[in-house]
């Protein structure tokens, strides 16, 4: 078994909190008596950057920066970068957390490592590896066996590629039990045996949001919205044990003075009974804690549970409404009608919860009438839509069954619809999150 593994995340990535995915993997390996360190190069170089670069760093989908970031680092922070490279070379296995936004830089750094060492083993995991897998299988090839240049290049760079959840395949690989070069969705059957991440070797004070902690109650999703790539990341929906989440809150409140807890689940209400237990657990242990999460619209969600969510300290919920047109909601496979959405939002309001909704315009098959109906829905229901959290034109994701040609890049009309929608919500005095208007539009 290799003696040492270093898990890394390269820029550009969201730098405000320590990397949850790597902390989960680290904890799992430690529980199996494998020592594992984390090197967060994203946070390290973000902290070194000047105000102008920091501002660019925080823009979503900043393709221009994603392409240039390594050159910038090598130009301005060569000494610090070389120290990082030396550190990586001191390990037998280096694992990289791959996102679309850091995939270029990850591959470039891998080449540098392989130039310097013939023995080092490279492992790639993270959502971008899943995306690459779906992208290549969609055209009849799988990662690592495809003949397409990019796929085969990924396979030559990495000794082992993990599609989906990382804990089990990484452990199996380190034990020498994974004979295939690519692991596909080799998930833990249950999350109940997992220890909570302790972020060994990382300092919360190095992160801008140092009073907040990200955590997960569940993995996967119970819904199947047709546009969504997030549901493809995991095969099964599973929750952690409530007692473990309570221990996690308790530990980080004490150890690092964390005040706010942000659930990074795809949806916090995948299992209503477990969510009720979680809220009750928080109430019993602490009275309340500050927490926020993403919530799906479900007509079977009792008002009593929403009140309990509020009582346990939830300060904000991000609700994926996506459209107010019945026809579009059906095409999206959202599983509720506009009428049910209204009933749900009313219940949220009467429970005294703070929340905002996200919207997609220009969905494939959306007619002008559907679009106007959706907009009218939002304007009519202003009293139960306290905030528009996010508006984006439809964006295609690899692995979904939808047509790539529907993407905003091919449809000027959906960009115009978005502008019109934004103009209307401004005119009608809606609150909105400026940074999330059109944040999926790639900035070149």
Binding of ligand B12 by 238 (CB under 6 A): no
Q: With respect to ligand B12, which residue has the nearer C-beta, 166 or 324? A: 166
Helix ranges restricted to H, 167-221? 167-175
- Are 375 and 421 in contact, with CB atoms under 8 Å apart? yes
Q: Does 221 bind ligand SF4 (CB under 6 A)?
A: yes
Task: Work out which of 162, 296, 297, 305 binds ligand B12, going by CB under 6 A.
Answer: 162
The residue among 212 and 328 lying less far from ligand B12, judged by its C-beta, is 212
Q: Does 433 bind ligand B12 (CB under 6 A)?
A: no
Q: Which is nearer to ligand SF4, 252 or 298 (CB)?
A: 298
Q: Which of 202, 228, 345, 425 binds ligand SF4 (CB under 6 A)?
A: 228
Residue 110 lies near ligand B12 (rule: CB under 6 A): no
Count of positions on this chain that bind ligand B12 (CB under 6 A)? 36
What phi and psi values does residue 98 have, to the nearest 5 degrees? -105, 125
Q: Out of 32, 53, 54, 60, name the contact with ligand B12 by CB under 6 A.
A: 60
Site membership for ligand SF4, residue 262 (CB under 6 A):
no
110 vs 218 by CB, closer to ligand SF4? 218
Which tokens is 394 given? 């439809």
The sign of the torsion formed by the CA atoms of 245, 247, 248, 254 equals: positive
Question: Taking contact as CB under 6 A, which single stretch among the options 18-26, 236-244, 275-283, 322-330 is the one that binds ligand B12?
Answer: 18-26
Does 141 bind ligand B12 (CB under 6 A)? Our answer is no
DSSP code at position 280: H
Concatenating the DSSP letter of every residue in 333-382 gives T-S--HHHHHHHHHHHHHTT--EEEEEEES-TT--HHHHHHHHHHHHHTG
For residues 5 and 150, the answer to whether their CB atoms sit within 8 Å is no
Stretch that binds ligand B12, among 75-83, 95-103, 268-276, 421-429 (CB under 6 A): 95-103
CB-CB contact of 83 with 44 (8 Å)? no
The phi, psi pair for 278, rounded to 5°, reads -65, -50
- 336 beta partners: none
Q: Does residue number 219 form part of the binding site for ligand SF4 (CB under 6 A)?
A: no
Instruction: Give contact residues for ligand SF4 (rule: CB under 6 A).
Output: 221, 223-225, 228, 230-231, 266-267, 296, 320
């Amino acid at each position: 078994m290799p003696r040492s593994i270093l898990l890394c995340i390269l820029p550009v990535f969201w730098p405000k909190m320590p990397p949850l995915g790597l902390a989960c993997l680290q904890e799992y390996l430690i529980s199996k008596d494998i020592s594992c360190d984390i090197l967060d190069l994203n946070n390290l170089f973000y902290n070194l950057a000047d105000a102008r670069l920091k501002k660019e760093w925080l823009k979503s989908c900043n393709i221009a920066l994603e392409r240039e970031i390594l050159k910038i680092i090598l130009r301005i922070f060569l000494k610090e970068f070389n120290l990082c490279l030396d550190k990586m070379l001191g390990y037998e296995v280096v694992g990289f957390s791959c996102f679309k936004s850091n995939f270029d830089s990850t591959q470039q750094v891998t080449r540098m490592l392989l130039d310097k060492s013939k023995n080092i083993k490279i492992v790639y995991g993270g959502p971008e590896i899943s995306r690459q897998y779906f992208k290549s299988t969609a055209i009849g090839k799988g990662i690592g066996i495809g003949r397409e240049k990019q796929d085969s290049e990924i396979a030559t760079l990495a000794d082992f590629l993990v599609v989906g959840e990382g804990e089990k395949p990484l452990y199996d690989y380190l034990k020498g039990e994974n004979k295939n070069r690519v692991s596909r969705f080799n998930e833990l059957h249950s999350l109940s045996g997992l220890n909570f991440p302790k972020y060994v070797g990382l300092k919360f004070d190095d992160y801008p949001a140092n009073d907040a902690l990200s955590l997960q109650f569940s993995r996967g999703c119970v819904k199947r919205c047709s546009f969504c790539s997030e549901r493809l990341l995991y095969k099964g929906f599973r929750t952690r044990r409530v007692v473990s989440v309570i221990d996690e809150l308790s530990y980080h409140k004490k150890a690092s003075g964390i005040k706010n807890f942000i659930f990074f689940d795809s949806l916090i209400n995948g299992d209503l009974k477990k969510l009720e237990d979680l809220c009750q657990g928080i109430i019993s242990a602490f009275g309340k804690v500050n927490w926020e999460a993403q919530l799906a619209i479900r007509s079977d969600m009792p008002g009593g549970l929403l009140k309990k969510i509020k009582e346990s300290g939830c300060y904000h919920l991000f609700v994926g409404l996506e459209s107010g047109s019945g026809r579009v909601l059906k095409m999206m496979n959202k599983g509720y009608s506009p009428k049910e959405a209204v009933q749900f939002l009313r219940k949220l309001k009467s429970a005294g919860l703070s929340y905002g909704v996200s919207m997609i315009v220009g969905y494939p098959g959306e007619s002008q009438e559907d679009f106007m109906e959706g907009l009218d829905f939002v304007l009519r229901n202003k009293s139960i839509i306290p905030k528009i959290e996010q508006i984006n034109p439809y964006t295609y994701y690899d692995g979904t069954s939808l047509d790539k040609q529907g993407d905003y890049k091919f449809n000027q009309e959906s960009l115009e619809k978005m502008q019109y929608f934004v103009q209307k919500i401004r005119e009608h005095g809606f609150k909105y999150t400026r940074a999330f208007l059109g944040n999926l539009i790639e900035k070149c």
